[in-house]
Structure 1
Amino acid sequence: MQILQFTDKGIYCPAGNFFIDPWQPVERAVITHAHSDHARYGSKHYLCHKDSVPLLLLRLGQDISIQGVEFGETIRYNGVSISLHPAGHVIGSAQVRVQQDNEVWVVSGDYKTENDGLSGQFEPVPCNTFITECTFGLPIYNWQPQNIIFNNIRQWIYNNQQAGKNSVLLGYSLGKAQRLLYHLRDTTEQIWAHGAIYITNQLLRQQGWPLPDLQRITPDTPASAYKNNLVIGPPSAADTTWMRRFNTYSLGVCSGWMQVRGHMRRRNADAGFVLSDHADWNGLLQAVKATGAEQVYTTHGFSSAFARYLTENGIPAQEVKTAYGDMDEEPAETTSPHNNEEGL
């Protein structure tokens, strides 16, 4: 049974008359998480996990109609059952389970299988058909345990302090920034942040998330304030006037793309840390097999290669083209008039 269809507006359930992560405005949108390539402005009503509600209100505007639910809670639209399950990608991220009669489809959204301490543990959901991302769907992408990566970042910060340099790390304002702040909160006396990261951090702190208090960087912040402290900004700040305020600094980029030699050089970075909020090759394979799916659709990233590998190994799979981003985490914030990723 074809419960879900791939349309020019997104993944559509005809029987339930709803879309999952639509990339055009629709009547009813079920949202996996608050990144801008999955949650777009203009739909009449949004359904998401309760932890994504404040993030969507921040990014899409306070005037949207939105409903938040718990993991495992069942919602029914025209006889079709919907429930959300942990994806482990970023705070509030969810997979969408859709059931009609005895047929079950699961849309993964974006996910990672290592628990980062904030986003929850990815939960494989048994299904007949699994729609999976495969941003890093090649065997070369294999992540080290995050405790090793953060130990490397701490050593880098220490070395910079000894050399009298500021440590500037770039990571997306939703997801990567929270992981950095949570795991590096005791590395320096103060942590300074770009406005986009500061605003998201303050919102999540208000919701009770265990994140450190930040100092917001403004045009009036003296250069001496950053000395020996950690600075966190979004990737969009690279090669902008925002970076010029830090005098002598070392720039570190946190991204799964740092696995491939040459990406760090292209980003003009002094250090590259292979830290991703997406599953690596082994994580993708483990997730697919754990669902027991008889059919798999692959989206964004190395979708063609991953589908071919699955098919050659006994799991029927095919690639589906979508409007979701192919970047490591989150594309530039351009989908809502309420976003201000560049702002101080």
Structure 2
Amino acid sequence: MIISKKPLLEFTKKGIYCAEADVFLDPWKPVDKAIITHGHSDHSRWGHKQYITHHTNIPIIKHRLGDIKVIGKKYGEIFVINNVKFSFHPAGHIIGSSQIRVEHKGEVWVFTGDYKIEDDGVSVPFEPIKCNTFITECTFGLPAFKWIPQKEVFENINQWWVENKDEGKTSILFGYSLGKAQRLLKNLNPEIGKIYTHGAIENMTNVIRPMIDFPETTLITKETKKEELLGNIVLAPPSTHGGTWIRKMVPYVTASASGWMTFRGARRRRAIDKGFVLSDHCDWDGLLTAVKETGATKIISTHGYTEIFSKYLREIGYDARTEKTQYEGELAEMESKKESEVVE
């Protein structure tokens, strides 16, 4: 009789579960103990009895989740739960984001959460970790997704701002309040003009400011006059587009910074004037590079274009499969209505 070996990590109704340690990784339903990769809402949810995360992620998830019981760890610091070794390693996705390494009886699994391999100058750069099994997101797991270096993207964004200023218009740039907004802010040129922010972005940026040197920003309030904004730039959550908050800023030009801007149709559907291709996730080549550098033979694809990506991996010799989760990639980084109405 052949007894199949139970996998070190299992995909359950509550989330990714390590039975040996009785702990979940980024669970989507309330559990007793959760190890959390980063602060986006699909990976760090409210309701767990205890959270374990990288220490720089603590103020971020407390800002979003309130008074929670949380333990912070450093990158590379090994902590043991029921003889299972865990450690966090840089994911390069957003500030405080981590991959989770899990080791037991010589077997090593790595769960990426969300990640990218390009150094964005804000988050700690991605670090490939050797393992036997690699659980990877593939939000942009299609060959059509191919990012250009961010230096070129930000040169284009700043030039767009200059052109709008010359025309006497306000530039409104959409980016998620956690991660994308700070990446944009870090790379905007304050010599062009003033940088204004929506309340959701201002609040989150103030949480992160003690860790990162950002340009000065000015919060938009009910007292802010549209004449003050002319020629300047406004950072706003995507969920504000089309609302009363933004309509008070006429004349303005809008732009979105997202991986989805690869497709012109996405920009048209969202009624955006300009699209800049900039993502905090890997493109196709980035995913393949990460997979190769882990040395893993077994690859599990979670959220994104899982079937296409896994099929390709099988064709080039990997033992690859997919698993369903409740992670949503860039879609989950959209602000809730409550967040977007901070100052409306």
Partner of 2:25: 20
**How far has the Cα of 1:185 moved from its partner?**
4.2
Secondary structure at 1:154's aligned position in 2? Answer: helix
Q: In the alignment, does 2:255 pair up with 1:257?
A: no
TM alignment of 1:1-344, pairs within 5 A: 2-61=7-66, 63-205=67-209, 207-327=210-330, 330-333=333-336, 340-344=339-343
In 1, Cα distance between equivalents of 2:88 and 2:199: 31
**How far has the Cα of 1:326 moved from its partner?**
4.3
| Cα distance change of structure 1 residues 86 and 282 upon mapping to structure 2, 3 Å threshold | same
TM (normalized to structure 1)?
0.96
In 2, Cα distance between equivalents of 1:328 and 1:155: 28
Secondary structure at 1:340's aligned position in 2? Answer: helix
1:278/1:329 contact within 8 Å kept: no
Number of aligned residue pairs: give it. 338
Aligned CA RMSD, in angstroms, stands at: 1.2
Per-residue CA distance 1:53-83 (angstroms, 9 max, x = gap):
000110000x200011110001110000000
Matched AA of 1:65: K
1:276/1:328 contact within 8 Å kept: no
**How far has the Cα of 1:329 moved from its partner?**
6.2
Per-residue CA distance 1:155-206 (angstroms, 9 max, x = gap):
100110111110000000011100110000424332111100000111111x
Per-residue CA distance 1:183-242 (angstroms, 9 max, x = gap):
00424332111100000111111x231112211111121111111111000011111111
Matched AA of 2:266: H
Per-residue CA distance 1:16-66 (angstroms, 9 max, x = gap):
0110000011000000000000000000000111110000110000x2000
Secondary structure at 1:123's aligned position in 2? Answer: coil
**Structure 2, unaligned stretches of length 5 or more?**
none
**Structure 1, unaligned stretches of length 5 or more?**
none
**How far has the Cα of 1:332 moved from its partner?**
3.6
1:276/1:329 contact within 8 Å kept: no
Matched AA of 1:294: T
Secondary structure at 2:183's aligned position in 1? Answer: helix
**How far has the Cα of 1:102 moved from its partner?**
0.0
| Cα distance change of structure 1 residues 319 and 58 upon mapping to structure 2, 3 Å threshold | same
1:257/1:328 contact within 8 Å kept: no
1:277/1:329 contact within 8 Å kept: no
In 2, Cα distance between equivalents of 1:189 and 1:42: 42
Matched AA of 1:176: K
Aligned identity (percent) is 49
Secondary structure at 1:327's aligned position in 2? Answer: helix
Matched AA of 1:137: G
In 2, Cα distance between equivalents of 1:17 and 1:71: 22
| Cα distance change of structure 1 residues 317 and 255 upon mapping to structure 2, 3 Å threshold | same
Matched AA of 1:31: I
Matched AA of 1:105: W
2:238/2:334 contact within 8 Å kept: no
1:37/1:331 contact within 8 Å kept: no
Q: Segments of 4+ in structure 1 off by > 6 A?
A: none
